[in-house]
Amino acid sequence: MKLGLFSESYYPSVDGVSKFIQDFKEVLTLDGFEVYVYTSIPGPKEDRVRRISSLPFPLYEQYWLSYFWIDKFIESAKNDKIDIVHIQTPFFSGIGGIAYARNNGIPVVGTFHSNLRDMASAIGNSPAVAAVAEVVNKYSALVYNSCDLVTVPTRSMLEFMRDSGLKTRTEIIPPGLNLRKYENFKPSINLREYLKIPKEAKIILYLGRITIDKGVYLLLNSFERIRHRLKDAYLVYAGTGPEIKKLRFEVTKRDLVKVVRVLGYVPEDLKASLLKETYLQVLPSRGDTFGLVLAEGMAFGKIIIASDKGGMKDWIKNEETGLIFNLDKENGLEEKIEYALTEDLTKIGENAKNWVFQNLDIKVVTKRFEEVYKRLKTV
């Protein structure tokens, strides 16, 4: 079966969608699928990856859009003789994938990854930005209504998309990652020596895009308030994004450089070393549809803290596989961090590790998507 994955996000982009597609493509290929990726992201040449001409999106530097080249997606898929289309984003690549499928009578699957309304706070908090984001969400639902089946990661996101106008058939399937690579991981460097963090210190890790909607300043504010009570705690940010310069400025301005590290982009081996040494991983995001990056910490048996917004609360069981804090409660995150650093929560970490390997390993998730493809092909 020739499968086409259409997405505005792919390697070398470093977000969750990109990582999912890379791991997903690898497992599908091992299972006998002939997988092609159609993307607007510039990057190196890669077998069966078609990079369509694009221009950067001015309001969000990570993304590139093929404003004038939808026909190139259609033409490329036609040349590759794709049997089934799976769109990952609702923009120009997704439209091209749907158009190709409808012109050739083949099935289309859509996956909803991003709550664009809440992501809009990374651009600004003005009423105009919020209004545009709301229109884009309704547009997304309209695009996905052209699919034969749409998958969403959680129940909350299904309800959100229904409210935005989604009417087509749906199925809840979480994203996944190649977690097995962490099972026998052995660090190649002494991370604490590299970061100048004492051996006995507890590391709090933020891993992901450095944007406002991810709560990077909320985490910094909370850490600043508790650091005098918890003198053995260090905070590490790993990731890149439009707020990274400002975040580094704030760390210096607040005289936190001795206890806060802002690393920027980290390669896979350093990321795994961070996860292994971390005591607590925090994602105080307002708009994550799933928060897949937390699964990596869980694979190491780490304690995770997530907000009660977006889709994270649907799959993380509070006090059982992680901790959920009330984003609207003053000092809510601060209280959870202090609780996690002062109580023995080993059992929660063990539960998290068992659960994530059973449910979010990429091989488990891929099997569910393969069943969807085969079902649609036989209709």
281 and 369, same domain (yes or no): no
* pLDDT tens, residue by residue, 195-222: 999 999 999 999 999 999 999 999 999 9
Domain span at residue 133 reads 2-178+361-377
224 and 143, same domain (yes or no): no
Identify the band that residue 111 occupies on the pLDDT scale cut at 50, 70 and 90. Answer: very high
Cα angle vertex 109, ends 379, 139, to 5°? Answer: 130
Identify the band that residue 127 occupies on the pLDDT scale cut at 50, 70 and 90. Answer: low
Residue range 153-163: mean pLDDT, rounded: 93
pLDDT of residue 191: 95
Whether residue 119 is predicted with pLDDT greater than 70 in this model: the reply is: no
For the full predicted model, state whether its pTM sits above 0.85. yes
169 and 244, same domain (yes or no): no
The average confidence (pLDDT) of the chain is 92
83, exposed or middle or buried, with CB in 10 Å at 0-12, 13-18, 19+? middle
Identify the band that residue 125 occupies on the pLDDT scale cut at 50, 70 and 90. Answer: low
* pLDDT tens, residue by residue, 234-245: 999 999 988 999
Tally of domains in the chain: 2
191 and 127, same domain (yes or no): no
87, exposed or middle or buried, with CB in 10 Å at 0-12, 13-18, 19+? buried
- For residue 189, the tally of other CB atoms under 10 A from its CB is 11
173 and 185, same domain (yes or no): no
Q: DSSP letters of 32-44?
A: T-EEEEEES----
pLDDT of residue 135: 81
Distance CA(4)–CA(164), nearest Å, equals: 26
Distance CA(159)–CA(148), nearest Å, equals: 18
pLDDT of residue 114: 76
* 16/359: higher pLDDT: 359
Residue range 137-161: mean pLDDT, rounded: 93
pLDDT of residue 9: 92
* pLDDT tens, residue by residue, 277-286: 999 999 999 8
Residue range 168-188: mean pLDDT, rounded: 93
pLDDT of residue 67: 87
For residue 56, report the phi and psi dihedrals to the nearest 5 degrees.
Answer: -65, 145
pLDDT of residue 183: 87
pLDDT of residue 13: 86
Whether residue 249 is predicted with pLDDT greater than 90 in this model: the reply is: yes
* 138/29: higher pLDDT: 29
298 and 168, same domain (yes or no): no
For residue 66, report the phi and psi dihedrals to the nearest 5 degrees.
Answer: -95, 70
222 and 240, same domain (yes or no): yes
109 and 240, same domain (yes or no): no
pLDDT of residue 287: 82
64 and 132, same domain (yes or no): yes
Distance CA(27)–CA(180), nearest Å, equals: 12
88 and 155, same domain (yes or no): yes
Residue range 334-362: mean pLDDT, rounded: 97
pLDDT of residue 61: 63
User: 60 Cβ partners below 8 Å, 6+ apart?
Assistant: 122, 123, 242
Identify the band that residue 118 occupies on the pLDDT scale cut at 50, 70 and 90. Answer: low
214 and 165, same domain (yes or no): no
Lowest-pLDDT range of 128-137, 149-158, 327-336: 128-137
Task: Kindly report the CATH number assigned to the domain that includes residue 85.
Answer: 3.40.50.2000
254 and 286, same domain (yes or no): yes
Distance CA(198)–CA(295), nearest Å, equals: 26
pLDDT of residue 60: 63
